[in-house]
Structure 1
């Protein structure tokens, strides 16, 4: 099957290592595309809730696929979020095609683009990390209950529903938080002369133009792989929100689910061998993506 070529893919809030993560669906999506650059915009591995007791093969296969892209000299930028914040201490770390940064300032087809996770604007995150961690556990539990309810609902011939989406869309404080987050991000982006700003963190996929006192900014959020199963894609000079639910090609891909029955340890060893990081890089770069100094 010919893979769909994409200039840039932005993923965030995958939360590998949690029960809510749709790793199999993400793997199908990744296998369906041929990206020229990948931006991992935070909360890719959920270190907050990571447990050695729960690390399915599909989660490891996602990691292996991403490192396979690096081994092919596809640039991969990893921007840590709040759930994988311990990686922030490795800011500036380069290993072959992998770069760990706290934020990205890019020039894409003569447009200035600011990319960061977004937790820096979360008051709860800044002042009450214990409360944020407790909320993360509660969210993961809600997702588990939601999956059970949807399983029963589908058996009864009814459609799926999302508890957390329902809460976000109906609770005024949640709606206000999202609106305030977007407004704050865009005001600061405009002050710094950015044309576009890309975030994750709030699990709410979006592309919209926001007008501030300092000018207009295109706000984008890549969503998540817990509920929305979305990403941002840039190709042919256009940004768009990718939705797995609307992609029958990706849904039909057979991911194999670890046919060789490798253990996570064996998969990690083969991953490291495969990664054996080529320090050389291809001359072919993504022409539309230039990191600013």
Structure 2
């Protein structure tokens, strides 16, 4: 069954997964996320870490109105009955001191297990727990964060020119990740580690963020889903009412200039009964 679409054009899903918004960073594409939240509703929403960028806010305060609008949009959805679960990441790790607490109707959890409409179990976690640099070389992580800021600023300037020429958004950082051998190896190792953890916890799949590389795929019989980010790719993952997943790339939907909403994405169906039979 496809997702419901209201007469207003709002798409309604069973579950939405969003991560790596980095509110407080100048690179956060808050306006696009506000527009996405305006056009999408769900029964449950998982905020899969790095929604607020505490690292950058500690360096200098930057929280303009569009960033506040994102917070207000999420709080409003919670007030209207959407279950909102916030799983902190490394950039908003200050919230890891409050597991089980509720803030404005938003529940904070270290990680979660989500059961889809078709009965599959998914481990939900940010993923920085499996990033060796973040765990064991904090100074390098901060230096890498500064370098990433510089790359994003250059990317923003480049895309300003592209938009004026009528070209769609293009991410240099995302392109580099797929071209640089070490980055490709890191992504592969990260995906394998998350899949192994999901298998260890007897789950059919894992949904994470952290590496800003959106994907719906499979690793060793485990469904691997990364929600991407709202700095470069502007992506979210949605669970339809039949349990199938869809990857939504909002910059492709909207184009270089706001365009009528259209459905995009890819879904992946897995046979969890076969996995259960194999394990038995």
Residue 57, structure 1, aligned to residue 89, structure 2? no
User: Which residue pairs with 2:40 in the alignment?
Assistant: 33
The offset of 1:149, in angstroms, is: 2.3
CA RMSD in angstroms comes to 2.0
Residue 137, structure 1, aligned to residue 142, structure 2? no
The offset of 1:162, in angstroms, is: 2.4
SS of the residue 1:202 aligns to:
coil
SS of the residue 2:90 aligns to:
coil
CA distance in 2, matches of 1:228, 1:220: 15
Residue 247, structure 1, aligned to residue 256, structure 2? no
The offset of 1:39, in angstroms, is: 0.2
Residue 83, structure 1, aligned to residue 83, structure 2? no
User: Which residue pairs with 1:203 in the alignment?
Assistant: 212
CA distance in 1, matches of 2:164, 2:103: 47
Larger Rg: 1
Residues 39 and 181 (structure 1 numbering): CA distance in 2 closer, same or farther, change over 3 Å? same
* Corresponding pairs, count: 249
Cα deviation, 1:253-277, whole Å, max 9, x if unaligned, reads: 9xxxxxxxxxxxxxxxxxxxxxxxx
Residue 226, structure 1, aligned to residue 231, structure 2? yes
Structure 2 residue ranges without an equivalent (≥5):
1-7, 261-280
CA distance in 2, matches of 1:224, 1:190: 25
The offset of 1:157, in angstroms, is: 6.1
Between stretches 91-100 and 22-31, larger displacement belongs to 91-100
Structure 1 residue ranges without an equivalent (≥5):
254-293
TM-score (normalised: structure 1) = 0.80
Residue 178, structure 1, aligned to residue 192, structure 2? no
User: Which residue pairs with 1:6 in the alignment?
Assistant: 13
